[in-house]
Amino acid sequence: MTHGRTAARVCGTGGHVSTRVRLREGRMITSDTAPGTVVRCDSSETMYLARYVSVAFFFERTLDTLRLADGLRGALALVPAFAGRLRAGDGGLEIVCSDAGVPLSVLDVDATLDEARTDVTRPDSMLIDRVDVRTGSLAERPLLTVRVCRTTDGGATLGCSWNHAVGDMSSFMQFVRAWAALVGGAAPPEIRVLDDRMAYLDQVLPDEGIAQPGCEPLDRDAMAGRGPELPPALPDNAAVQLYFGADEVLRMRKSFGEAASRRVSVNDAICAHLVATLRDSEAEPTSWNLSVSVDLRHHLGLPRSVIGNLVQSLYVPCPQTGAGELSGHIRAGLDDFIRSHQCLRADRAFIGPVGRSRFHHCAPVPFDPGHRTFILTNWTRMGVYDVEFEGQRPTFFSPIVSSHAPFTWFAMVAEGPWNEGFLVTAVLPAKAAEQLRSPEGRAALHRFAATDDPCSWGPHRQVTHG
């Protein structure tokens, strides 16, 4: 199958084609080897109680669901937490590796693979099997769901949704690498499952660190809808996808590096450019903050085989300065991250007077949409285009986000379609998304683009989803 590869760089039409779906099969996948292990989560993971991360891989050829199921069985034996269930223990949040199972559904969809791409930002996306976090007990909620959608042109999507308490994106991708290896009959990568994540972090975290915890108590009015019970959807959100070509970002990095008098990374440049573009589009100057998610494995020299949430946030004020200077501030913060921003130990000290039973009434500092804190997560170099199922690699990968998300001002950066360029997936207020749709907004976003730059998006995408 051949996809068109020429389009504008701000993607989507704002609408979607009504798609008929038919459930082909559904089953619960277990490893048949329930270890009964209880994983003691780190204290900060309590805030992930009801938060699921959803992604989809797109393949040009269909997938053998029997082989997928067999490989998934083996992967769950290696990482039993994904087939377990959560419980609120006396000592905090725990994952019981009970082998309760992972729901696997297979759908036939009346859409081509290209048409299915428009689903990644729909509130009711068919690409994933969503977990209802508003009803039912913790013991009934699966920690991972898997859905395969078979398209009319012989393609397939593999959609996964997992509870953030089990692990971060790096953990999930290590699981997927093991899953893909087992489907192909190869040896899986090393996996290290921690029974006591707090004890492990106590061993590897430096003693020193910032004294300010990464979470704060909510006042009585703010408690409504925070913690385990997610707040209601914001009515004026819009889900947006933006594509930046590799050469476009290279020019961006060169310009910003000269302004900052230091080398800046892809992530530094895209984060600074996106925040500065949105900030400068506002009629009234607003005080902005930036929160950049940081994988501690890299900074602490830990292997990616460790399963858990080894992520902290870099906080950067965003004054009315140029994007080049801002990218330099981001780079300086990352270079000095462990000394100046690592706050897991401060979170531990914070929990004492708050009490574990009330910790779910605390909010991570970055989740502060009222004070314009923009959260950016970097998923580049996670290897999302390197995994191989049945001899084929994805042609497209995307987080599944929704304009019905309970938060706004957040985005994920990953490699673009066909592993070319970079794709930003964001949830923004509808007014900000509309500004990006305008000719002025698109010109500002792509001021580093050349007319002959290739664009790796499918045909006829012209403006943002919303």
Q: Pick the more confident residue, 422 or 402.
A: 422
Q: In the predicted model, what is the mean pLDDT of residues 416-423?
A: 95
Q: In the predicted model, what is the mean pLDDT of residues 316-321?
A: 84
pLDDT in tens, 236-286: 889 999 999 999 999 999 999 999 999 999 999 999 999 999 988 887 767
pLDDT above 70 as % of the chain: 80
Per-residue confidence band for 311, with pLDDT thresholds at 50, 70 and 90: confident
Q: Pick the more confident residue, 379 or 321.
A: 379
Yes or no: is domain 10-201 CATH 3.40.50.720? Answer: no
pLDDT at 364: 52
pLDDT in tens, 127-165: 999 998 887 788 899 999 999 999 999 999 999 999 999
Q: With 80 as the cut, is the pLDDT of residue 296 above it?
A: yes
pLDDT in tens, 185-215: 999 999 999 888 888 888 887 765 544 444 4
List residues bridging with 55 in a β-sheet.
160, 399
Average pLDDT, the chain: 83
pLDDT at 108: 96
pLDDT at 368: 56
* Within this chain, domains 10-201 and 209-445 share the same CATH topology: yes
CATH architecture of 209-445: 2-Layer Sandwich (3.30)
Residue ranges per structural domain of the chain: 10-201, 209-445
pLDDT in tens, 325-378: 999 999 998 988 877 655 555 555 555 544 444 444 455 555 555 567 899 999
Q: In the predicted model, what is the mean pLDDT of residues 162-171?
A: 95
Q: In the predicted model, what is the mean pLDDT of residues 216-222?
A: 44
Q: Pick the more confident residue, 346 or 427.
A: 427
Alpha-carbon Rg for the chain, nearest whole angstrom, is 21
Structure tokens at 227: 């913690």
Q: First vs last Cα of the chain: how many Å apart?
A: 28
pLDDT in tens, 75-127: 999 999 999 999 987 767 899 999 999 999 999 999 999 999 988 998 889 99
Q: CA nearest 168: which of 316, 38, 274, 296?
A: 296
Least confident of 3-7, 8-12, 34-38: 3-7
Q: With 80 as the cut, is the pLDDT of residue 220 above it?
A: no
Count other C-beta atoms under 10 Å from residue 453's C-beta.
16
